[in-house]
Structure 1
Amino acid sequence: MPRDLAASVRPEGPNRLAFWTCASVLALALWTSGAATPVYPLYASDWQLTPFVTTAIFAVYPLVLVVVLLVFGSLSDTIGRRASILLGVSASIVGVLLFALAPDVGWVLVGRAFMGLGVGLSLSPATAAMIDIAGPVNSARTGAISTASTAVGLVFATLLGGALVQYAPEPLHLTYWVLLVVEAGVLVLVWRLPRDRDEKAGHWRPRWPSVPRALLGAVGAAAVCVSASYALGAVVLSLGAEIGVTLIGTDNAFVTGSVIALSMLVIAVVALASRRVPVVIAVVVAAVATGLSFTALVLAAAQQSLGLFLAFCVLSGVGYSLFFASGLGIVSRFAPEHHRAGTLSAVYLVAYLVQGATALWLGAQATRGGLESAVDVGAPAIVGLALTAMVAVVVVMRGRERRRRVAA
């Protein structure tokens, strides 16, 4: 980000507007990601889709996004944050329009690919811009607001989306028309951001996201943290509605959307409440919450218990929030500005690859053996990933503290 946007630790005036515009892009990205969640049961019933095809609709998005991050991960470091975000939001608009018009699953899959393209082009630059504006000294605050922004987007996707699907006309399409209007509004806000291309950056060419050798440990820890949070998100967003329908005993999209939105609300509250919590403590709490959440989910599936499913939603929200904020906080502290977008792209690349693979794997398992079987095999793997994230962060942060003491 240029110096005219890299401002004080508490953005004011134009910098404040730019900061919150980028936060709105994060919210929009996750709203776009989760927009289909309340509609999945309708797709399954109206179009006779198996759980594998339903989760494939979800998984196309992160898998395309991984390809985009591989090729365009450092694009905004060359053409500027604003230009990259504009391209991303425009591609998302195309994807949402295809969903709004979709007569069959083929349109939905293509639309999902455009959503992945759009979020891949906009998510890392928007996150990097927020860090640039607020500065590394405010890394905890920026991480908390980033996490809360994504949660707000998911709340709109599940709660508002569920209400539109259940009570408004055109349940397969209207929620996307509403999202399209919001996308257009955010596009206008992004257009008004200051132009920020660094003339010394040269011409862009496709290249893999690059991470300096000195940052590999920190980026690895951040990537595992965000991967753990996104794996949790894959369970909630790709299978949560169908699990909810089974346990609640109703096909009311607003009711199931409200239950899933509970997890998103917890994510936002925890993110804002925990911004002063040290990273090491945060990841330990996140790992414990993840373990408890899947214990509750396994028992909920076995006992057909709505109360235990609600406990899963709350605990998984705690785990997601703390892992995601911790991952972004580590990047904020360790990555210099000129490597920040590429570093974030590497982190998101790993996380979305994990999310897409998790959704497809669990969908295939649910098709073969049912939802309870998918939960039983998925729980140990995701809890293991959470424990890996905890260990990685502890090792990285202790190493940093050790080097600081030696330098002193």
Structure 2
Amino acid sequence: MPRDFAASVRPTGPDRLAFWTCASVLALALWTSGAATPVYPLYATDWQLTPLVTTAIFAVYPLVLVVVLLVFGSLSDTIGRRASILLGVSASIVGVLLFALAPNVGWVLVGRAFMGLGVGLSLSPATAAMIDIAGPVNSARAGAISTASTAVGLVFATLLGGALVQYAPEPLHLTYWVLLVVEVGVIVLVWRLPRDRDEQAGHWRPRWPSVPRALLGAVGAAAVCVSASYALGAVVLSLGAEIGVTLIGSDNAFVTGAVIALSMVVIAVVALASRRVPVVVAVVVAAVATALSFTALVLAAAQQSLGLFLAFCVLSGVGYSLFFASGLGIVSRFAPEHHRAGTLSAVYLVAYLVQGATALWLGAQATRGGLESAVDVGAPAIVGLALAAMVAVVVVMRGRERRGRERRGRVAA
């Protein structure tokens, strides 16, 4: 993969194509992740599923992804970004095909497992490749575009998916056939990427993602940031459709998808607008937005208020965007290139484990006590995680700044 972008402001020629191809892989990964969101209410109705089972469909994806990251987290640092992304998109294609053909929940669960495998193999190397191409000078821009790309994928999943479920034939399947066509188009683009690190392909062996000791503090802060954003995503993507149906009072999948897509649009806009905001400021704003968003959601559930649910969508989008971009920004700033994919895998591993556990926990709570009970229980836990992310980033960034000043003082002396 080309490495000479650091000296320029924007990629050009082959670099630009590679950069945007990797951005499309990120969008595709999150589209794949959220593709079932508008369909969950139909699964629940047609197959008589409980909230626990529907959230389990969602949770299989991040939990399988965690296993993949544990075993294959640093794969692309050895065999190359392109090869790992190709393997990942191929696995995603299998998963989407299983959804497109699924006659029952068993097929869907296996399809989710393949989706987790595919995203686990492609997400970290695609993100690392974007950071490689952008270079440290443009790390904020790369992080913003990475965040916006994931949001675009989720908009397609919820808005286009909702329209296809509501207005097109075969509501349980057609949205996946459309996604499958896009998957094939993206894998063609990935195939055209330049080969990289092929000479090391024979030296890879399964191992846990490794993080240099000097990076543990920064990686820990980044992991808590991305975990906070993914916990927010778990609420929106696993239960958002059912909460929306309850509050909107309509079973129109497009309307529900449009309401959920509002959060994703906010994620993209905030990511692009805030790329020059210092990380410490961003996480403070993100923590406040997360606290306000769950206040709005608790009140929305209690008062059956669509307006408050819309406020939750907007504020949660702000929190998700700033936390996710801040986590990626920390990695791109501190992790050296030869450790970058493994470092990102460690960050994603923690975040997806939190997301899967959050979805299962809230689904179990919703099955026992209803959606309002799940919201009441989940809100303080996720707000607490957001506050922990804020504290971790402030401590790490202040510590780095202090050590930097001390080094400059020694050099000057």
Q: TM-score, normalised by structure 1?
A: 0.97
- Does residue 126 in structure 1 map to residue 126 in structure 2? yes
- 8 Å Cα contact 1:297-1:309 kept in structure 2: yes
Q: What does the per-residue CA deviation read over 1:163-217, in whole Å, with 9 as the maximum and x for residues that have no partner?
A: 0000000000000000000000000000000001252575100000000000000
Distance 1:76 1:333 in 2: 20
1:46 to 1:198, Cα distance in 2 relative to 1, 3 A? same
| Alpha-carbon contact 1:37-1:237 (below 8 Å) kept | yes
Give CA-to-partner distance per residue, 1:1-51, whole Å, 9 cap, x none.
464787744210000000000000000000000000000000000000000
**Alignment CA distance shift 1:308-1:72 (3 Å):** same
**In structure 2, distance between residues paired with 1:267 and 1:308:** 18
SS of 1:340's partner is helix
Tell me how many residue pairs correspond in the alignment.
408
What per-residue deviation string (whole Å, max 9, x for no partner) do you get for residues 376-401 of structure 1? 00000000000000000000119889
The 8 Å contact of residues 232 and 316 in structure 1, kept in 2 or not, is answered as yes
Q: Deviation digits for residues 141-177 of structure 1, max 9, x if unmatched? A: 0000000000000000000000000000000000000
Deviation at 1:365, TM superposition (A): 0.1
The residue correspondences of 1:109-148 to structure 2 (distance < 5 A) are: 109-148=109-148
The answer to whether the 8 Å contact 1:64/1:117 transfers is yes
Q: Distance in 1 between matches of 2:369 and 2:404?
A: 44
Separation of aligned partners in 1, 2:410 and 2:33: 43
1:2–1:197 CA contact under 8 A, matched in 2? no
Offset at 1:243?
0.1
Does the 8 Å CA contact 1:2/1:198 hold for their aligned counterparts?
no
* Matched-pair contact (CA < 8 Å) for 2:79–2:200: no
Offset at residue 137 of structure 1 (A): 1.2
- Report % sequence identity: 96
What does residue 211 of structure 1 align with? 211
Q: What are the superposed Cα offsets for residues 224-249 of structure 1, whole Å, 9 maximum, x if unpaired?
A: 00000000000000000000000000
8 Å CA contact 1:7–1:15 kept in 2: the answer is: no
Distance 1:399 1:28 in 2: 39
2:258 aligned with 1:253: no
Q: Are the counterparts in 2 of residues 9 and 133 from structure 1 also a CA contact under 8 Å?
A: no
Q: 1:139 to 1:405 in 2, by over 3 A?
A: farther
CA RMSD in angstroms, aligned pairs only? 1.7
Structure-2 change in CA distance of 1:140 and 1:340 (3 Å): same
- 1:280 CA drift (Å): 0.3
Distance 1:406 1:173, change over 3 A: farther
Q: Counterparts of 2:409 and 2:185 in 1: how far apart (Å)?
A: 46
Secondary structure of the corresponding residue to residue 94 of structure 1: helix
Work out whether residues 91 and 114 of structure 2, in 8 Å CA contact, stay in contact via their aligned partners in 1: yes
Specify whether residues 404 and 392 from structure 1 end up closer, same or farther in structure 2 by C-alpha distance, changes over 3 A only.
farther
CA distance 1:61–1:250, shift in 2 (3 Å)? same
Residue 231 of structure 1 aligns to a residue whose secondary structure is helix
Give the TM-score normalised by the residue count of structure 2.
0.96
Q: Kindly indicate whether the alpha-carbon contact (under 8 Å) linking 1:294 and 1:312 is maintained by their aligned counterparts in 2.
A: yes
Where does the alignment leave 5 or more consecutive residues of structure 1 unmatched? Answer: none
Looking at structure 1, the residues matched to 92 and 221 of structure 2 have their Cα atoms a distance apart, in angstroms, of 29
Q: Deviations over 1:333-362 (max 9, x none)?
A: 000000000000000000000000000000
CA 1:106–1:137: 2 relative to 1, 3 Å: same
Name the CA shift for 1:368/1:301 in 2 (closer, same or farther; >3 Å): same
2-structure distance, mates of 1:3, 1:233 = 33
Measured in 1, the distance between the counterparts of 2:409 and 2:95 equals 47
- CA distance in 2 between counterparts of 1:309 and 1:151 reads 19
Query: Do the aligned partners of residues 387 and 170 (structure 1) sit closer, same or farther apart at CA in structure 2, a change above 3 Å counting?
Result: same
Q: Does 1:93 find its partner at 2:93?
A: yes
